[in-house]
């Protein structure tokens, strides 16, 4: 039976945390050839490459990320054991690692994940924002417990990924009070020629908006296009144009940015999904999110 060399694992863990062998050597107070040699032996024993170079830094490979996650858990448990033996409070929150698509509005992400912070058993929430393709790679290597996205995963991935629809809602059109008063009367025809702040092309929301414009023969005056939904709202707050928001977080947006609603529509529907490697949701945090999300997304603002 082959045993894992925990000295090697510890050296690997320190190098991964510090980003370079030199910085790890300073922490461990060991010579660089010693650490380099131990890392080579560890990779040979595992039969896998754990790092790749990026300039002067070392970057974890996909396998390296898996090993690092286990190392974090192992040495975290070891630290907890020391605390227990020293009479310190025991118990640590379970980690819940979520990947958030960079197209998801920040208010939606917060509202969907908020139930995790209120669970009876404390949870250490870790959020990573990236494009969905990169997040799927991390999910495949077990670097994430769940992905939050605005579109179901349809393309083949390196691991099985299952879509769990959390819920859906309509869209509200917001602007400063001055713009809202100007364009509210005669909606939706009043939107023709109005200044607009839109998500970038290719996003689910943008495709839906373009179709809506076409159905109503609206020619928007596009002032700006934004990948970051929070930046889009800042421009809207400054009066640069009209912008869309998911109706489920309309109240949050109105209060935070001091804007008003021009109109709402259910012709455009925003859908939100949890993507996991589980066909049936078992993780308690994911279950809590799924149970609360439907109620939250159906809690539409009142006129």
pLDDT digits (tens, 9 = 90+) for 220-272: 999 999 989 999 999 999 999 999 999 989 999 999 999 999 999 999 999 99
Q: Which value, to the nearest 10 degrees, does the dihedral of the CA atoms of residues 134, 65, 148, 200 take?
A: -30
CA gap 13, 159 in Å, rounded? 25
User: Which token pair is 243?
Assistant: 């912008």
Residue tagged 């299952």 (tokens): 162
Task: Report pLDDT for 83.
Answer: 58
Residue 67, token pair as written in the block: 């090993």
Fold of 6-85: Arc Repressor Mutant, subunit A (1.10.10)
Residue with more model confidence, 295 or 191: 191
Q: Which residue has the higher pLDDT, 183 or 52?
A: 183
Q: Alpha helices, DSSP H only, in 19-131?
A: 21-28, 32-46, 62-85, 106-113
Asked if the domains 6-85 and 94-167+272-298 are classified in one and the same CATH topology, the answer is: no
Least confident of 79-83, 110-114, 215-219: 79-83
**Domain residue limits, the chain:** 6-85, 94-167+272-298, 170-270
106-109 contacts at long range (C-beta below 8 A, 24 or more positions apart):
106/229, 106/230, 107/245, 107/246, 107/249, 107/252, 107/253, 107/256, 108/246, 108/248, 108/249, 108/272, 109/148
**Total number of residues shown for the chain:** 303
CATH number given to 170-270:
3.40.190.10
- The pLDDT, as a whole number, for residue 157 is 53
- Reported as a pLDDT band with limits 50, 70 and 90, residue 207 is very high
CA gap 194, 178 in Å, rounded:
13
* DSSP codes, 126-180: EEEEE-HHHHHHHHHTT--SEEEESS---S--SS--EEEEEEEEEEEEEE-HHHH
The full DSSP string for 189-236 is GGGTT-EEEEEPTTSHHHHHHHHHHHHTT---EEEEEES-HHHHHHHH
Residue 29 in this model has a pLDDT that exceeds 90: no
CATH of 94-167+272-298, one of 2.102.10.10, 3.40.50.300, 2.40.50.220, 3.40.190.10: 3.40.190.10
Give the C-alpha separation, 242 to 209, whole Å: 12
Cis peptide before 190 (omega within 30 of 0): no
In a 3-state reduction of DSSP, which class is residue 284?
helix
Taking a C-beta distance cutoff of 8 angstroms, is the pair 194, 223 a contact?
no
pLDDT digits (tens, 9 = 90+) for 285-294: 888 888 888 7
């Amino acid at each position: 039976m082959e045993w894992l060399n925990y000295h090697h694992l510890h050296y690997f863990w320190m190098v991964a945390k510090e980003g370079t062998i030199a910085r790890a050597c300073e922490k461990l107070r060991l010579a660089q050839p010693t650490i380099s040699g131990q890392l080579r032996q560890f990779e040979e024993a595992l039969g896998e490459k754990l790092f790749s170079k990026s300039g002067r830094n070392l970057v974890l490979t996909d396998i390296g990320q898996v090993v690092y996650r286990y190392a974090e858990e192992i040495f975290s448990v070891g630290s907890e054991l020391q605390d227990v033996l020293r009479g310190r409070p025991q118990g640590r929150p379970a980690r819940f690692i979520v990947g958030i698509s960079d197209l998801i509005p920040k208010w939606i992400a917060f509202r969907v994940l908020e139930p995790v912070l209120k669970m009876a058993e404390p949870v250490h929430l870790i959020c990573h924002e990236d494009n969905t393709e990169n997040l799927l790679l991390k999910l495949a290597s077990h670097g994430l417990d769940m992905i939050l996205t605005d579109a179901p995963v349809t393309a083949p991935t390196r691991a099985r990924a299952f879509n769990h629809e959390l819920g859906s809602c309509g869209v509200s059109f917001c602007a400063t009070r001055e713009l809202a008063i100007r364009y509210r009367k005669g909606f939706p025809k009043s939107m023709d020629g109005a200044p607009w702040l839109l998500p970038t092309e290719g996003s689910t929301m943008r495709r839906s908006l373009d179709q809506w414009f076409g159905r109503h023969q609206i020619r928007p005056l596009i002032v700006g296009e934004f990948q970051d939904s929070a930046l889009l709202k800042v421009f809207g707050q400054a009066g640069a144009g009209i912008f869309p928001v998911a109706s489920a977080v309309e109240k949050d947006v109105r209060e935070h940015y001091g804007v008003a609603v021009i109109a709402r529509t259910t012709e455009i529907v925003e859908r939100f999904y949890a993507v996991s490697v589980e066909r049936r949701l078992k993780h308690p945090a994911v279950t809590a999110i799924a149970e609360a999300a439907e109620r939250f997304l159906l809690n539409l603002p009142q006129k």
